[in-house]
Amino acid sequence: MVQLDVEKVISELTLGEKVALTAGIDFWHTASIKRLNIPSLRTSDGPNGVRGTRFFNGIPAACFPCSTALGATWDTDLLHKVGQLMADEAIAKGTHVILGPTINTQRSPLGGRGFESFSEDGVLSGTLAGHYCKGIQEKGVAATLKHFVCNDQEHERMAVDSIVTQRAMREIYLLPFQIALRICQAKCFMTAYNKVNGRHASENKEILDGILRKEWGWNGLVMSDWFGTYTTSDAINAGLDLEMPGKTRWRGQALAHAVSSNKVPEFVLDERVRNLLNLINYADGLGIPENAPEKALNRPQDRELLRRCAAESVVLMKNQGNILPLNKAKSILVIGPNAKLAAYCGGGSASLDPYYTVTPFEGVTAKSKGEVRFEQGVYSHDQLPLLGPHMKTEDGKTGFMFRVFNEPASQSNRELVDELHLVSSSGFLMDYVNPKIKSMTYFVDMEGYFTPEEDGLYDFGVIVVGTGRLMIDGEVVVDNTKNQRQGSAFFGTATVEEKGSKQLKAGQTYKVVFEFGTAPTSDLDTRGIVAFGPGGFRFGATRRVSNEELIANAVEQAANADQVVIFAGLTSEWETEGHDREHMDLPPGSDELISRVLKANPNAVVVIQSGTPVTMPWVNDASALLQAWFGGNECGNGIADVLYGDVNPSGKLPLSFPVRLEDNPSFLNFRSERGRVLYGEDIYVGYRYYERAKITPQFSFGHGLSYTSFARSGLAVESSPEGSTLDNETVTATVTVKNTGKVPGSEIVQLWIVPPKTVVNRPVRELKGFQKVALQPGEEKKVQITVEKKLATSWWDEQRNAWASEKGIYGVLVTGTGEEKLKGEFEVKKTRFWTGL
């Protein structure tokens, strides 16, 4: 790659070449113009790891804890390191642009992609995102802030109109983007799928041009979310530089015609091209050639950082009687659906194939010096567990053979097109290509052998974007080829899981054949559904067993166990892009399991994994409770480090956990109704609502305990003198923090501002700054948090279309671990207004 003379290149481009540069050529790459030495750029998901260019059978990658987990660290230095490793992973995958971070605001616990965003609070989310982007871009890789803006639900996500006041837009939904840009000028933005106040985000000139470019002065590339472009002229004129993915649906000849007919002035098209060429020049320093091979890193230092991230994200919610940390020398009983399952990430475009995973059971076993026993308790799967990892090929390898044909199984003398060895029996074929495949319609036979360990009735399940039949020893057990029903898997394009059952004997080997036909063979009505390539498949199986039997066994064992830990929660099946959760509850049986085990052994430790809040009807009976999120590659080790005290938990909740869904401020206004969703809670999202309405959540935003104790003292507040404008004016809070316990620990000091009575209603208090500090036992340090006065004091005045810093006495609260609050104040002597970044 070489540095381009951007203006010279623009002057030499033909209209057709300019048009070509404004759209991708495939799922991940931009167009190249060889005669002018304009190279193609590669993009890649995403928020918690760099997948590379393949959903299907791709190169494994480092998987970080999900964004709510990273949000729980409240650690800007750690997020900077995360960004640096993300960049290294991107370079290994030949990627110039990372499609992350996601910094949408979680209005509701039900949001299918809630786990992808850091927090319900814009200051926490934007600050962490800024440092994350800084780490990425220090190495020359481009970061992408997404999804701009109000992409907060999955229901009808491409069609829904998010109706939101300008005040809420500014104070809640745009704020994390604004703060992130103040810390690091991310090179790219990705637009949201949805409409915002009547106009799709990708063609919303007021937001893309008026706010982002003109008011905030940002100068980078705006791309659409994948298939999130809906017009030709409107999107180009509004400021959408790049339509993704390719091949184009809205540009090409349509855009050339729009320019020639003056629907799009050519200078506007030049602006779009200029932004892409500037991005190419930025990426030039990476030295990544076009179509670079994808490699795996998996370095020891990376595994160490991933483990640190997993451990530091864990939030100690309860620890009555100091049950935690556990004793390594004592025996332990491990129970629960998430114990031997690695819930390492949520579902959808954030998902990837990890280098490896560590289950909680493996993490505990590696730490314990005593006997480790296991009881399942219940299962938590929504869909039947994948069968692939439990199969063998004919030559004894784990997994099965994947054989591709242009003709169906019914046709004799088929020619084999491709043959792969796979382990996962879930595959999304949107980026699978083979030059011998003649069309979007082709067929795959998947064949392997399954030897059950126990006698019993086994259930088998099949989900397809296409058609599929599962056969055991030649008998059709599941037929998902006719009368198909629409489901939610694979971004909402797949069928529901169709099931069948068969009695199997332990030790007997059965031949499993799954016949699959791609998407065009399906009889589903796919109008209105975006087609992500030729299709997908998933087949799973499990022995049928009753929850009562499993729970009773667990309770019996727990009653007399020295130490008990229960691992429960959600997985990528329950929290995923494409659909929202229907409720906040754990999967069926989990609450009953936890309640009955706690009754049998009140000292049992409960560990919940989820990306967003869950209901906890048993919480008052639990003495020790950890929130562990989706923890990435090192999930199990990170949890075990905290359970056994090798890491003192320091995480704080980035989200409020309500007692019940009905307490959430968006309860009456979440989901699309007749094409729109009303943001009726206005600025009162998360803790702003609970505190204003005096509703006590189960656990508050910012909550988190430690194995040590801290004291905060000596708060001093300094406000810089006022000038004619608010520029460069600051408020500084200085406080002494001491570790008053017996073990090292880290405290997160939180700075809150309490507004005076003003002409509008305002939240009781708002987070405006934070800092993490590590302390040895008995050690004390001075912590200084400085925030700009205009950010600390302002609300959005819709009449003036500007931020208002109103005169009055502002309260200062400093909080952290425990209930202690230090109070101070400062005065704003005159009301002033401002706009800009």
Burial of 505 (0-12, 13-18, 19+ CB in 10 A): exposed
For residue 826, how far is the Cα from the chain centroid? 38
Contact 770, 131 (CB under 8 A): no
What is the rounded CA–CA span in Å between residue 283 and residue 1? Answer: 9
pLDDT at residue number 717: 98
Segment 226-244, tens digit of pLDDT: 999 999 999 999 999 999 9
Residue 530 has pLDDT above 60, yes or no: no
The first and second tokens of residue 44, run together, are 């890649």
- Locus of tokens 């784990």: 398
Segment 392-430, tens digit of pLDDT: 999 999 999 999 999 999 998 899 999 999 999 999 998
% of the chain beyond a pLDDT of 90: 93
Angle at 492 between CA 490 and CA 496, to 5 degrees: 85
pLDDT-derived band at 57 (thresholds 50, 70, 90) equals confident
What is the rounded CA–CA span in Å between residue 287 and residue 366? Answer: 41
Strand duo 745-754 + 808-815: pairing: antiparallel
Fold of 710-834: Immunoglobulin-like (2.60.40)
pLDDT-derived band at 528 (thresholds 50, 70, 90) equals low
pLDDT at residue number 56: 87
Helix (H, G, I), strand (E, B) or coil at 278: helix
Segment 66-104, tens digit of pLDDT: 999 999 999 999 999 999 999 999 999 999 999 999 999
Going by C-alpha positions, the residue among 356, 326, 144, 395 that lies closest to residue 707 is: 326
Helix (H, G, I), strand (E, B) or coil at 208: helix
pLDDT at residue number 526: 66
pLDDT-derived band at 527 (thresholds 50, 70, 90) equals low
Name the least confident of 257-271, 344-358, 615-629: 344-358
pLDDT-derived band at 491 (thresholds 50, 70, 90) equals confident
pLDDT at residue number 1: 58
Segment 724-741, tens digit of pLDDT: 888 899 999 999 999 999
Angle at 592 between CA 589 and CA 593, to 5 degrees: 85
Residue 453 has pLDDT above 70, yes or no: yes
Helix (H, G, I), strand (E, B) or coil at 11: helix
What is the rounded CA–CA span in Å between residue 380 and residue 490? Answer: 20
pLDDT at residue number 305: 98
pLDDT at residue number 285: 86
Average pLDDT of span 481-501: 93
| H runs (alpha helix) in 634-788 | 635-643, 687-693
Segment 552-606, tens digit of pLDDT: 999 999 999 999 999 999 999 999 998 899 999 999 999 999 999 999 999 999 9
Active site residues: 225
Residue 531 has pLDDT above 80, yes or no: no
Segment 179-222, tens digit of pLDDT: 999 999 999 999 999 999 999 999 999 999 999 999 999 999 99
Residue 782 has pLDDT above 60, yes or no: yes
The first and second tokens of residue 368, run together, are 């314990």
The first and second tokens of residue 21, run together, are 């540069």
Average pLDDT of span 480-490: 92
pLDDT at residue number 724: 82
The first and second tokens of residue 472, run together, are 């055991």
What is the rounded CA–CA span in Å between residue 557 and residue 372? Answer: 12
Going by C-alpha positions, the residue among 76, 173, 176 that lies closest to residue 132 is: 76
Separation of first and last alpha carbons in the chain: 33
Average pLDDT of span 422-440: 92
The residue type at 101: P
- Locus of tokens 């919480």: 619
CATH of domain 39-246: 3.20.20.300
Segment 346-361, tens digit of pLDDT: 998 888 899 999 999 9
| H runs (alpha helix) in 533-589 | 547-558
Mean pLDDT of the chain: 96
Angle at 42 between CA 39 and CA 47, to 5 degrees: 155
Contact 409, 429 (CB under 8 A): no
% of the chain beyond a pLDDT of 70: 99
What is the DSSP-derived secondary structure letter of residue 158?
Answer: T
Residue 525 has pLDDT above 90, yes or no: no
What is the rounded CA–CA span in Å between residue 470 and residue 512? Answer: 7
In CATH, which of 1.10.3720.10, 3.40.190.10, 3.40.50.1700, 2.60.40.10 is domain 306-381+546-693?
A: 3.40.50.1700
Contact 459, 470 (CB under 8 A): no
Angle at 786 between CA 781 and CA 788, to 5 degrees: 175
pLDDT at residue number 47: 86
Angle at 544 between CA 543 and CA 547, to 5 degrees: 120
Average pLDDT of span 639-660: 98
| H runs (alpha helix) in 398-446 | none
The residue type at 782: K
Fold of 388-424+433-533: Jelly Rolls (2.60.120)
What is the rounded CA–CA span in Å between residue 475 and residue 494? Answer: 24
Domain boundaries, the chain: 39-246, 306-381+546-693, 388-424+433-533, 710-834
Give the count of beta carbons closer than 10 Å to the beta carbon of residue 403: 16
